Amino acid sequence: MIELIPAIDIIDGKCVRLVQGQYQQKKTYSDQPLQVARHFAGLGVRRLHLVDLDGAKAGKVVNLDILQSIAEDTPLVIDFGGGIKSDEDIQSVFDAGAAMITAGSIAVRDRAKVEKWLMQYGPAKIILGADTRDGKISINAWQEDTTLGIFDFVQGYMDLGIIRLICTDIARDGMLGGTALDLYKALKDRFPTLEIIASGGVSGMEDIRELEQAGIDGVIFGKAFFEGNITSQEIMEFFNE
């Protein structure tokens, strides 16, 4: 069964969603992220993707208090991303209760540091974040495109022992227009032992079923839930099958 991983994205302490990573296209869904996380836990969800968008923009972790409150008050296994750049950042995030971190921009900018973290914390705690636009990796909260191809990027970290990947197709993120299914299939074909988590474009449960049939391991969704395209009832039914 594919793992359902809801996303909570934080700006100014509120639960928001962006469109294609554009901060000026922000929609606020709740000013109580902890209550949203509790709701997900009550549906049977086990994992949470928590993104510090303030941190991603600032280049340092900002919303540590929200991470800590969700970790302390729910049973959710949290992976945290956004602004993790230093040894102090990653340690503070783990101390606050994250089970895993997502290394995105830092994995492009400072491979040696991420390699050190993989050695220090183990590959089970470091998820590779690959945010892609037209097959190339983008960094710094998707504000900067690189010339690095996604397959070369992932291969480089497979060589270092990475076991889990979150791949976001930026063009689809927040659009509710369907996922980059062909990209995820190609990644699975190329890296069959890698746990691949799809992110971006989920419009409803049909998209999740397609990913599951394609052998994709997990899926992150956010806007589809907050806009009512995926209901609480559908999530509960999925876990009770």
Local confidence band at 18 (pLDDT 50, 70, 90 cut-offs)? confident
Q: Which pLDDT score, from 0 to 100, does residue 98 have?
A: 98
pLDDT(143) > 80 = no
Average pLDDT over the chain reads: 92
Identify whether 9 is a catalytic site residue. yes
Q: Which pLDDT score, from 0 to 100, does residue 102 have?
A: 96
Q: Which pLDDT score, from 0 to 100, does residue 141 have?
A: 57
Lowest mean pLDDT among 7-11, 86-90, 139-143, 207-211: 139-143
Query: Averaged over 37-42, what is the pLDDT?
Result: 98
C-alpha span between 32 and 36 (Å, rounded): 7
Count Cβ neighbours within 10 Å for each residue of 131-145 and write b for 16 or more, e otherwise: bbbeeebbbbbbeeb
Domain ranges of the chain: 3-239
Identify whether 131 is a catalytic site residue. yes
C-alpha span between 84 and 87 (Å, rounded): 8
Q: Out of 131, 173, 207, 217, which one is annotated catalytic?
A: 131
Local confidence band at 25 (pLDDT 50, 70, 90 cut-offs)? confident
Q: Which pLDDT score, from 0 to 100, does residue 105 have?
A: 87
pLDDT tens for residues 190-213?
Answer: 999 999 999 999 999 999 999 999
Q: Out of 9, 79, 173, 207, which one is annotated catalytic?
A: 9
Angle at alpha carbon of residue 82, lines to 78 and 84, rounded to 5°: 95
Query: Averaged over 154-171, what is the pLDDT?
Result: 94
For 3-239, CATH gives 3.20.20.70
The pTM of the full predicted model, rounded to 2 decimals, is 0.93
Query: Averaged over 8-30, what is the pLDDT?
Result: 86
C-alpha span between 22 and 85 (Å, rounded): 21
- What count of other Cβ atoms lies within 10 Å of the Cβ of residue 116? 12
Q: Which pLDDT score, from 0 to 100, does residue 173 have?
A: 64
Q: Is 147 exposed, middle or buried (0-12, 13-18, 19+ CB in 10 A)?
A: exposed
pLDDT tens for residues 46-68?
Answer: 999 999 999 988 889 999 999 99
Query: Averaged over 98-111, what is the pLDDT?
Result: 94
Q: Which pLDDT score, from 0 to 100, does residue 108 have?
A: 92
Q: Does residue 223 sit in helix, strand or coil?
A: helix
C-alpha span between 160 and 213 (Å, rounded): 29
Q: Which pLDDT score, from 0 to 100, does residue 20 have?
A: 65
